Amino acid sequence: MKIEKVKIFDTTLRDGEQAPGAALDAQGKLEIAHQLARLGVDIIEAGFPVSSPEDFRSVNLVAREVKGPVICGLSRCVKKDIDAVKDALSVTENRRIHVFIATSPIHMEYKLKKRPDEVLEIAVDAIKYARRFFDDIQFSPEDASRSEPEFLYRIIEAVIDAGATTINIPDTVGYAVPEQFAALIKGIFDNVANIEKAVISVHCHNDLGLAVANSLAAVKAGARQIECTVNGIGERAGNAAMEELVMAMRVRKDYFGVDTSIDSREIMRASRLVSRLTGFVVAPNKAIVGKNAFRHESGIHQDGVLKFRQTYEIMSPEDVGLDKNELVLGKHSGRHALVDRLKRLGFNLSEEEVSKVFEEFKRLADKKKEVFDEDLVALVESTMRVDVEKWQLVGIEVNIPRQDGNPRATVVLSYGGKEFSASSEGDGPVDACYKAVDKITKCPGKLLNYNIQAITSGKDALGEASITVDFGQDRVINSHGSSTDIVEASVRAYVNAVNKLNREGGK
């Protein structure tokens, strides 16, 4: 059987970031983009440059710093949008523009207020204009799954003649079902005369829980690019999950006859990074990356797995980046052992960075009996963010009265080598600490979301606080902090939020 390649177009940084509460700053986007490059995605849709100065800066930063994947920017069929993508991607030759316009009757009538012939003309003019600056042009007829097939065939043929090289078919509102979506793709191949000049792509939303199924049905029908996101994040119910698509095509290569260039051993690391930076916790039963994906509780299942793993596992934990033989480090472990394990986890750090991580590792090892791989990943990611932070947590002291009375907290922060201290009462220890931080930083925020989860195992597990803070004037920030103490993790998350605010010019 000939195995064909399916390109992976990752839109975590664009459509994924549009999920309510998932806003990423430029540094967070860059971090994810580097991981997507390690993962081996073919195209990274870095953002929508015209939408805001911050998004323009993020796309430009990713284009400048990330090597390997094609970097793509989104654009409406508007010259200023196309110009913004051109300028944002001017720092790289490895670039693509993604131009879209709605083509369904309901969108054309109520959103665009234009007739089909007008929409076709606008699309063709936009592709011709983009062709002045780009050789790699992707066109999306938005809401394609609810568009009239005959009009869809007409506009696709016209934009290919105008210079489009990839045609992306979006199921924008998650309306399609697999058989219907496969028939739509087949209809395009059968009715668009010049379709051999373009790659057919698909972009499926998960409103009915069918995004992955629809995408795979399209691949079976001939699509050779899939738009997807890490952990399936995105608007409303999200997008097709990259990890599910990749592993479905790989495990069932016998059925689909395709594969991707993805290094699946990087999947778990990508999942954890996106979860941490967006604050979106991965459900335990999530396919491929959920913490229960390779766990067995049933006695019958355990017996089967112990006798022959394939009885109840169709892929191994190592396939997606989990190491079943985790190296456990402790307070007596040396620098060499730490560096060796960090390299195995995919971190290539400078001597200065290793020194910082080693210092934090020793502190953690004093608190924990054993330090696991998950601890190290969290430790490296939190330590590397220190370089751009201003406020640093020095210490916390919390007093909780035995009877009536509110907890009182004293927090010590450092800034520019100087230490600052403040005390405050609150409804609970975390609230008291946050009020003390507000006194020091003079950046009071309103807590919108607060989540605590254990990210490692054992009684002394490392806990992570994920929070969303509203600092006013449309400055809503997601932040994270980790520690073996949940109050400390919560304060670290809040201090990180203040630092993000300062970096973005909030104060």
* pLDDT tens series, the chain, 507 aa: 789 999 999 999 999 988 877 778 888 899 999 999 999 999 999 999 999 999 999 999 999 999 999 999 999 999 999 999 999 999 999 999 999 999 999 999 999 999 999 999 999 999 999 999 999 999 999 999 999 999 999 999 999 999 999 999 999 999 999 999 999 999 999 999 999 999 999 999 999 999 999 999 999 999 999 999 999 999 999 999 999 999 999 999 999 999 999 999 999 999 988 988 887 888 888 999 987 777 644 454 445 545 655 665 678 888 888 765 444 577 777 788 888 778 777 677 888 888 888 888 888 888 776 777 777 877 786 676 544 458 989 999 999 887 778 899 999 999 888 999 999 999 999 999 999 999 999 999 999 989 888 766 666 667 888 888 999 887 888 888 888 889 999 999 999 889 888 876 544
pLDDT at 388: 45
DSSP symbol at 329: B
Find, among 393, 357, 359, 394, the residue nearest to 376 by Cα: 357
In whole angstroms, give the CA distance from residue 239 to residue 245.
11
> Residue 217: left (phi > 0), alpha (psi -120 to 50), or beta?
alpha
So what's the pLDDT on residue 373?
73
Residue 318, pLDDT score: 84
* Structure tokens belonging to residue 120: 């076709």
* Separation in Å, CA 373 to CA 208, 286, 376, 455: 36, 21, 5, 10
Contact, 167 vs 199, CB < 8 A?
yes
pLDDT value for 59? 97
Q: How far apart are CA 272 and CA 278, in angstroms?
A: 10
**Which residues does residue 463 pair with via DSSP β-bridges, in sequence order?**
454, 483
Residue 7 near residue 199, CB atoms below 8 Å: yes
**Beta strand 43-47 pairing with 95-102:** unpaired
CA dihedral (266, 271, 273, 276) in degrees, to 10, reads -160
H/E element holding 80? helix 79-88
The HSE-up count of residue 280 (CA atoms within 13 Å, CB side) is 25
Task: Give yes or no for a contact between 335 and 356, defined as CB atoms under 8 angstroms apart.
Answer: no
Give the DSSP letter of residue 112.
I
Angle at 182 between CA 181 and CA 188, to 5 degrees: 95
pLDDT at 414: 92
- What are φ and ψ of residue 205, in 5° steps? -95, 160
3-state DSSP call for residue 241? strand
